[in-house]
Amino acid sequence: MIITWQQAQSLPPLSDRIVHIWCASLRASPKKLYDLWNLLVGDEKKQADEFISVQAKEEFIVSRGILRLLLSKYLGTVSEKLIFRRGKYGKPYIQDVTKQLPLQFNISHSQDLALFAFTLDSEIGVDIEYIQTDFAYEEIAPQFFFETRKYYFV
């Protein structure tokens, strides 16, 4: 089942051995950016303000705001009550709330897209990478790769 972000007023139920993956654009209108900014709490706003690039700041605001919206719907709580922490390797989790619902999540972003993955009772990871199609690989290949030769054994 594919649900676009604009259509999602309520989420389909999340059950054991099911993974929900959401894809969202990190581009937002000024009004949407303002609305998502208002979902962020103290440390997140401070973190957003530390970005030098306006684009990186806006992408952080959009991705964290959407994550807060999705988590609040899955957990049935207001987004302002969600407290993020980071695990040993930097993976985010929700403080205390995970005791009520064994919700696990992960996020990845590249260029102007983000993926959000959610499941119950299992660690989850998700990754998205932009593939640059106009990359001049032929120019740098000799510096990093060796010519291959075919060998035949009889």
Task: Residue 55: give its domain's CATH number.
Answer: 3.90.470.20
3-class secondary structure, 119: strand
10 in a structural domain: no
How many distinct structural domains can be found in the chain? 1
> Which band of pLDDT confidence, cut at 50, 70 and 90, is reported for residue 1?
very low
Are the CB atoms for 82 and 71 separated by under 8 Å? Answer: yes
Rounded CA-CA distance 46/118 in Å is: 26
- How many helices and strands in the chain, by DSSP H and E? 5, 5
116 in a structural domain: yes
143 in a structural domain: no
**pLDDT for 69-113, tens place per residue?**
999 888 888 888 888 888 888 888 887 654 566 888 999 988 889
- Domain with 85, as residue range(s), is 17-128
Structure confidence at residue 57 (pLDDT): 94
Q: How many other CB atoms are found less than 10 A from the CB of residue 39?
A: 19
Q: How many other CB atoms are found less than 10 A from the CB of residue 67?
A: 24
